[in-house]
């Protein structure tokens, strides 16, 4: 982070948001901080971006359908 700041390289992390996130159409993976330690629980409020913790999720389920054309998702 210090190198990036010194050289004006924009990066999506900071000392407050310290998780590396790799996002694509299917999911987002998280790395960094306490996530790297299996004996520690993640700080859900800071690391989740596509979902919410189960205790904040609605009680109703929702079905999402994705349409494909030659293996490429084309409609949601």
Query: Stretch 27-56: mean pLDDT, rounded?
Result: 81
Residues 48 and 51: their CA atoms lie apart, in Å, by: 6
pTM: 0.43
4-26 residue pLDDT tens: 889 999 887 777 777 777 888 78
3-class DSSP string for the chain: CHHHHHCCCCCCCCCCCCCEEEECCCCEEEECHHHHCCCCCCCHHHHCCCCCCHHHCCCCCCCCCCEEECCEEEEC
Residues 54 and 70: their CA atoms lie apart, in Å, by: 35
Query: Stretch 54-61: mean pLDDT, rounded?
Result: 87
């Amino acid at each position: 982070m210090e190198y990036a700041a010194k050289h004006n390289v924009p990066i999506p992390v900071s000392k407050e948001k310290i998780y590396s996130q790799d996002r694509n159409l299917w999911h987002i993976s998280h790395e960094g901080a306490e996530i790297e330690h299996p004996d520690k629980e993640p700080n859900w409020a800071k690391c989740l971006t596509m979902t919410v913790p189960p205790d904040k999720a609605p009680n109703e389920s929702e079905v999402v359908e994705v349409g494909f054309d030659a293996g490429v998702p084309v409609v949601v």
